[in-house]
Every structure is written in structure tokens, then in C-alpha cells.
């Protein structure tokens, strides 16, 4: 009887705890974004189930059900683009081919420039990246002497134009070359750099690292160290570097479960922050305001025309203010990841742009004045790597090349230069200038009758496609032929610099419009009543399922299947023209 009593007593005491745990888990699940990217564990399982498959030569040109005449149009256009690339960029392509099997980054970016079912049929000259040997102003030159307007922005480094950074590097090295690569000792320029960074960040202390990813790693580590809590919160779709501790998204393998991926702009997320006791920090990528709850746009995901992004500054500023207030109330560390946005959106970065002060801020890219760097700024309490009363309890972090003299020199020139009146005036005018330029850009696209729209957050632009289509990813190659240099992510993100004059920008618009007209005339934006975004995605799902489960072939049919089959039956007999 005693044992029975004990059992029921324990059960009675355990029940409220179990109910509490279940309720907390339910609230956490509700705070996740309903998309696949909002559920990291599920997304990784599904990613492992998706097989690689390649469209046949016919389906490559007819995956949208286009008739034979349009298919032939596309084949001819592809041959023309390929011939032009091989002729105009022969030396550049030869150098790229020489390294494609020995540089892992090249193999990765080559594979992920377009949706994977099309990659094997695409000529390799399209998949290869580029090489360059000179820059000037807003342009970059490849090895064949072709000058292109640079819309890649060097992944965010290039805020003020290449000439600016070359000057920073030259002057910085001139100031520090007598010391050379001394490590461990500091060049005296570090003191001035730290003082300026403290003023810019509004924080007390600074540590130097080799990359933005490294700076984020240290920020998260210190937040956990000082709060004694285990979990960080990131927002759905946000990128914080390649470190897997902050990259639990689709397809990225990860064993530990110490990250909560929650929905952006959600009351349910605020509820989780207010009620859970295991959250050490909230990690904010200010650029996520451009595409809340979505991954950074890339042409490799352009299956249909449903890319969506847009920027509402007031709404996101209010959201970040509410996050700030909750973090203060709950003792949660608020981290701004300004590796990309720092020194671009405003002089004091996103903190100034949105009017919110963080506890820790990471910087990188442009702050090195053209050389690689990662920087963490924070309050004195959070930046301390030891505990006064526990001498063995430390949070050790060092790096062999942290505070390299040449980096300190280029950084010093950069920081002093952007504090001057001409660039401070640019900061005051830049947001309005870029919004006006993009509005004029869209007016031109509309007047030309092109199925395109440009969105932006400051000087970072993205291309939206306004008609359903399966071949929008082809547009990047037309833009390149027209003299515009894009990153490997294609038209998802066009990163422009303060160096773009009105004339430069107008040249970009002209080349963009010319490329779009050529793409249109080559049949890639062919339309039919059956061609809707919903139908395209359903057909793609059918293709995936058929590739994964071959026995389903013929049993599943997407909305485009009939038109594709009809197209195959009606195509011209005889040999298929060579691509």
C-alpha cells in the first residue's frame, strides 16, 4: 500500500511539470514559421530524401509545355549564348576550367547556379564562374579584357567602390609595412581603430577575428558563457555565416539541438522569448527585413516565379524595438550580425538605421578596408572572457592572425575616411537616392512591357518575376552577356556601391532592359493558360516523386504533363539540333 501511495504521490507531483513542459513545447512549435525552412529537423530529413535527377534534352527546353517552335527558339538562343561566351571569354573560361576540379568552392558554386534538374544539360561555360585582373570605379575586367558593371558587390565588401578600397589597402600597408606580419604584438594603430569602433557601435570593448563567421561564433559563445543558458534564437531564413551552430536550415547537417529557429514578425515568437528560461541570446541579421522568414534569394531556387521580397522599414524597426524590450526584460543578449549591413545602411549601421541598440554587434567584410576581418563589439560585462571569482572558468578565444598589422592599417584608413564630411553627406542622402533610383528603374521596366520588378533595401536590389515561368534562372546569363557581373546567386541579390553615379546606374538599367528584351524574344518567357506558379511547383513535385519512386512513373501527372506530352508528340521529326 505504501508503494502504491508513493507512486500516486510522485505522479501527482510530476503531472503539473509534464503539463508545463508540453505546454512550453507547444508554444515553441507555434512560434516556428509554417514553411519547411522554419522546421530545421524536418527539413534536414526531407532534404536527404530528394534525389538528383536531370531533365532530358527535350524536357530541358520544354519543361513548361512550350510548343516545338518555341523549343527550337530556345535551342538556337542557347547555342548563340554559348558561342558568344566561348568566343568573348576564352581565356577566362580556360583559367576557370583549369581549377574547377581542384577548388572546392568552384565545384559548389558551379553546381548551384541553376535549379539542379537543368544543370547537366547546361553548357559548362554558363556554370563556371569568372576571373578578373583589374577594377575601376564600378566595373570589373575579366582576363579577356571585358569590362562589366559589378553587381556582385564582392559579397558586401564593396560599399564605396574598388578604388576606395585599393587606396585603403595601399595607405594601410604603407603605415604598417615596417612591422610586417608580427603576430601577438599590436601595431599602435589598433588604439585609434578601437576608439572609432566603440563610437560607431555605442559599445565598450572590441575583439578582432579573421572573419564575420568567427565573430558571430565568439558573440554566441560569450552570450552563453555569461548567461549560463544554452539556446540561441535565430529567425527563419536568416544567414549568420557557414558555422553550423547558426546554420540549421534546409540540407545542413547538424546534430546538436541548441538553436531555436523562430518566425520573424510574430507575436508567438515574442511569447516564447518572454516565457522560456533557456534562451541565451537572440541573433538578428538586419538584412532579413528584406525577405522575412525566407532564405536569401538565389537563382538556384527559381523553380517558378514566386520569389517574393520587399522592405517595410517602419514595420521592421518597430519589431526590433519590441525584441529589444523583451530581451532587456528577460536578460537575453541581443546580438546584431552586421557583417553584411555594417557601414552600408548608415554610418552606425543597422543600429542607426532601425534606431535600436544591441548588446553585442559583429562586423566584417568592408571594415577591413579591403582585407579580411571579423570584429565583435560589446558591453564590458559581456566581452569579459573570465570570471573574477572563478579563475579557471574561462571562455578562451584567440586567433593567430587576429589584429594583423596590415589589416589594422587598412582598417584605420577606412575608418578615418568614412568619417570625413563628403562620405557623411553620402550617408545622409543614400537611402533616398537608392529608393528613387529603384522607382525609376521599375517605371522603365513597366514602360518596356517586361515581366520584371526590382525591389530594394537601400543599395541592395533583387529581381522579381511577374509572370509564371520555369526559366527565369536563364536571365543571369543574358545579363552577363550584356555586361553586368553578378555573383553566383544570380539575380536574387544585386549589391551596388556608393560609387555608382547616375550615369553608371543608367548604364546598368539600359543593359538590363536590353538583356530582358533578348530573353523575351528568345522564348524563355513563353506563356500559356496552364502555366501558373502553382502548376509549375506541382509538376516539379511530380518530377521529384517520380525520380525518387520510379514505379510511380505514369501514375502521377502534374498540371503541365498533358501539354508536355503533347509537345513531345508534335515535335519535329529528325535529329535534334546540337546545342
What is the reported pLDDT for 574? 34
d(CA 48, CA 247) in angstroms, rounded, equals 17
The pLDDT tens digits of the residues spanning 490-519 come to 999 999 999 999 999 999 999 999 999 999
**For residues 243 and 241, which has the higher predicted lDDT (pLDDT)?**
241
Cα separations in angstroms, 451 against 101, 170, 439: 37, 45, 16
Q: What is the pLDDT of residue 400?
A: 65
Query: Can you give the pLDDT at residue 382?
Result: 96
pLDDT greater than 70 at residue 565: no
Query: What's the confidence (pLDDT) of residue 27?
Result: 74
Three-state SS at 460? strand
> What is the reported pLDDT for 97?
92
Residues 256 and 245 sit within 8 Å (Cβ to Cβ): yes
Environment class of residue 185 by beta-carbon count within 10 Å: exposed (0-12), middle (13-18) or buried (19+)? exposed
Tell me, what's the pLDDT at 20? 62
Whether 10 has a pLDDT exceeding 70, the answer reads: no
pLDDT beyond 90 at 549: no
Q: How many distinct helices (H) and strands (E) make up the chain?
A: 20, 16
Neighbours of 219 (CB within 10 A): 32
Which of 553, 536, 534, 535 shows the shortest CA–CA distance to 545? 553
Domain spans in the chain, listed from the N-terminal domain onward:
57-158+424-521, 162-296+312-386+403-419, 533-570
pLDDT of 359 above 80: yes
DSSP 295: P
pLDDT in tens, 93-131: 999 999 988 998 888 888 889 999 999 999 999 998 889
Res 539 pLDDT > 90: yes
CATH topology assigned to domain 162-296+312-386+403-419: 3.40.640
Q: Are 409 and 171 in contact (CB under 8 A)?
A: yes
- At residue 569, the pLDDT reads 47
Mean pLDDT of 480-488: 95
Mean pLDDT of 534-562: 82
What confidence category does residue 577 fall into, taking pLDDT thresholds of 50, 70 and 90?
very low
For residue 249, the Cα-to-chain-centroid distance in whole angstroms is: 13
For range 129-153, the mean pLDDT: 94
Kindly report, residue by residue over 191-239, the tens digit of the pLDDT.
Answer: 999 999 999 999 999 999 999 999 999 999 999 999 999 999 999 989 8
Q: In the chain, what percentage of residues exceed pLDDT 70?
A: 89
- Residue 133, pLDDT > 90, answer yes
CA 170 to chain centre: 30
> Other C-beta atoms within 10 Å of 122: how many?
19
Q: Read off the pLDDT band of 35 (50, 70, 90).
A: confident
For 259-298, give one letter per residue: b (16+ CB within 10 A) or e.
Answer: bbbbbbbbebbbebbeebeebbbbbbbbbbbbbbbbbbbb
pLDDT, tens only, 430-443: 999 999 999 999 99
Per-residue pLDDT, 197? 98
**Could you count the other beta carbons within 10 Å of the beta carbon of residue 453?**
16
Average pLDDT over residues 37-46: 74
Stretch 138-146: mean pLDDT? 95
Beta strands across the sheet bearing 139-142: 132-136, 139-142, 147-150, 484-485
pLDDT digits (tens, 9 = 90+) for 380-416: 999 998 888 888 888 887 766 688 999 999 999 999 9
The architecture (CATH level 2) of 57-158+424-521 comes to: Alpha-Beta Complex (3.90)
Give the global pTM.
0.90
Q: List Cβ neighbours of 141 (8 Å cut-off, separation of 6 or more).
A: 132, 133, 134, 135, 147, 148
Any idea what DSSP says for residue 415? H
Q: Which residues contact 545 (CB under 8 A, 6 or more apart)?
A: 552, 556
Which among 119, 151, 224 has a CA at the least distance from the CA of 497?
151
**Better-scored residue on pLDDT, 243 or 330:** 330
pLDDT for res 199: 97
Arithmetic mean of pLDDT, 29-44: 73
Spatial CB neighbours of 144, under 8 Å, sequence gap ≥ 6: 88, 89, 90, 91, 92
Which contacts (CB < 8 Å, 24+ apart) does range 37-41 have? 37/236, 37/237, 37/249, 37/250, 37/261, 37/293, 37/294, 37/295, 38/236, 38/261, 38/262, 38/263, 38/293, 39/261, 40/248, 40/249, 40/254, 40/259, 40/261, 41/257
Q: Are 332 and 326 in contact (CB under 8 A)?
A: yes
Tell me what percent of the residues of the chain surpass a pLDDT of 90. 72
Q: What is the pLDDT of residues 53-68, one digit of tens each?
A: 999 999 999 999 999 9
The pLDDT confidence band at residue 572, using thresholds 50, 70 and 90, is: very low
Can you give the pLDDT at residue 571? 36
List all residues 6 or more positions away from 357 whose beta carbon is below 8 Å from its beta carbon: 202, 324, 351
Q: Whole-angstrom Cα distance, residue 139 to residue 504? A: 9
The pLDDT mean for the chain works out to 89
Integer Cα distance of 323 and 535 in angstroms: 39
| pLDDT score of 249 | 58
Task: Give the pLDDT of residue 407.
Answer: 95
Is a pLDDT exceeding 70 seen at residue 255?
no
Amino acid at each position: 500500500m505504501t508503494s502504491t501511495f508513493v507512486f500516486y504521490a510522485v505522479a501527482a507531483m510530476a503531472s503539473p511539470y509534464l503539463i508545463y513542459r508540453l505546454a512550453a513545447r507547444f508554444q515553441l512549435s507555434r512560434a516556428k514559421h509554417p514553411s519547411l525552412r522554419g522546421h530545421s529537423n524536418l527539413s534536414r530529413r526531407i532534404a536527404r530524401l530528394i534525389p538528383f535527377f536531370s531533365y532530358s534534352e527535350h524536357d530541358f527546353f520544354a519543361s513548361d509545355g512550350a510548343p516545338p517552335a518555341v523549343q527550337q527558339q530556345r535551342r538556337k538562343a542557347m547555342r548563340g549564348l554559348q558561342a558568344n561566351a566561348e568566343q568573348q571569354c576564352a581565356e577566362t573560361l580556360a583559367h576557370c576550367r583549369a581549377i574547377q576540379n581542384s577548388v572546392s568552392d568552384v565545384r559548389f558554386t558551379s553546381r548551384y547556379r541553376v535549379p539542379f534538374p537543368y544543370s547537366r544539360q547546361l553548357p559548362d561555360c554558363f556554370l563556371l564562374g569568372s576571373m578578373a585582373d583589374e577594377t575601376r570605379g564600378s566595373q570589373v575586367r575579366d582576363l579577356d579584357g571585358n569590362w562589366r558593371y559589378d553587381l556582385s558587390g564582392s559579397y558586401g565588401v564593396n560599399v564605396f567602390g574598388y578604388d576606395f578600397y585599393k587606396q585603403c589597402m595601399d595607405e594601410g600597408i604603407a603605415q604598417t609595412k615596417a612591422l610586417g606580419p608580427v603576430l601577438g604584438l599590436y601595431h599602435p594603430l589598433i588604439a585609434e581603430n578601437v576608439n572609432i569602433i566603440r563610437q560607431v557601435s555605442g559599445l565598450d570593448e572590441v575583439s578582432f577575428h579573421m572573419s564575420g563567421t568567427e565573430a558571430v561564433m565568439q558573440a554566441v559563445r560569450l552570450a552563453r558563457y555569461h548567461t549560463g543558458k544554452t539556446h540561441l534564437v535565430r529567425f527563419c531564413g536568416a544567414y549568420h555565416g557557414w558555422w553550423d551552430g547558426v546554420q540549421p536550415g534546409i540540407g545542413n547537417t547538424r546534430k546538436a539541438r541548441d538553436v531555436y529557429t523562430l518566425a520573424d514578425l510574430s507575436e508567438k515568437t515574442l511569447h516564447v522569448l518572454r516565457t522560456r528560461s533557456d534562451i541565451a541570446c537572440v541573433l538578428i541579421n538586419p538584412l532579413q527585413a528584406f525577405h522575412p522568414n525566407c532564405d536569401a534569394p538565389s537563382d538556384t531556387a527559381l523553380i517558378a516565379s514566386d520569389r517574393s521580397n520587399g522592405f517595410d522599414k517602419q514595420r521592421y524597426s518597430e519589431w526590433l524595438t519590441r525584441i529589444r524590450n523583451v530581451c532587456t526584460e528577460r536578460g537575453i543578449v541581443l546580438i546584431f550580425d552586421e557583417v553584411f549591413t555594417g557601414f552600408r545602411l548608415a554610418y552606425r549601421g543597422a543600429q542607426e538605421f532601425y534606431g535600436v541598440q544591441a548588446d553585442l554587434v559583429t562586423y566584417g567584410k568592408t571594415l577591413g578596408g579591403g582585407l579580411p576581418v571579423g570584429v565583435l563589439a560589446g558591453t564590458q560585462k559581456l566581452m569579459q572572457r573570465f570570471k573574477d571569482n572563478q579563475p579557471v572558468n574561462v571562455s578562451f578565444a584567440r586567433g593567430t592572425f587576429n589584429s594583423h598589422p596590415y589589416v589594422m592599417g587598412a582598417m584605420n584608413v577606412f575608418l578615418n575616411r568614412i568619417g570625413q564630411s563628403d562620405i557623411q553627406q553620402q550617408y545622409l542622402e543614400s537611402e533616398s537616392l537608392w529608393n528613387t533610383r529603384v522607382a525609376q528603374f521599375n517605371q522603365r521596366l513597366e514602360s518596356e512591357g517586361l515581366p520584371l520588378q526590382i525591389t530594394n533595401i537601400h543599395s541592395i536590389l533583387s529581381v522579381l518575376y511577374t509572370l509564371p515561368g520555369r526559366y527565369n534562372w536563364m536571365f543571369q546569363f543574358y545579363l552577363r552577356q550584356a555586361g553586368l557581373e553578378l555573383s553566383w546567386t544570380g539575380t536574387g541579390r544585386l549589391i551596388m556601391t556608393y560609387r555608382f553615379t547616375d550615369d553608371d546606374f543608367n548604364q546598368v538599367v539600359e543593359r538590363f532592359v536590353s538583356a530582358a528584351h533578348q530573353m523575351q524574344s528568345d522564348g524563355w518567357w513563353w506563356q500559356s493558360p496552364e502555366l501558373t506558379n502553382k502548376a509549375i511547383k506541382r509538376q516539379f513535385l511530380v518530377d521529384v516523386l517520380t525520380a525518387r519512386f520510379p514505379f510511380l512513373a505514369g501514375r502521377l501527372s502534374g498540371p503541365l504533363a498533358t501539354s508536355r506530352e503533347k509537345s513531345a508528340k508534335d515535335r519535329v521529326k529528325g535529329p535534334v539540333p546540337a546545342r
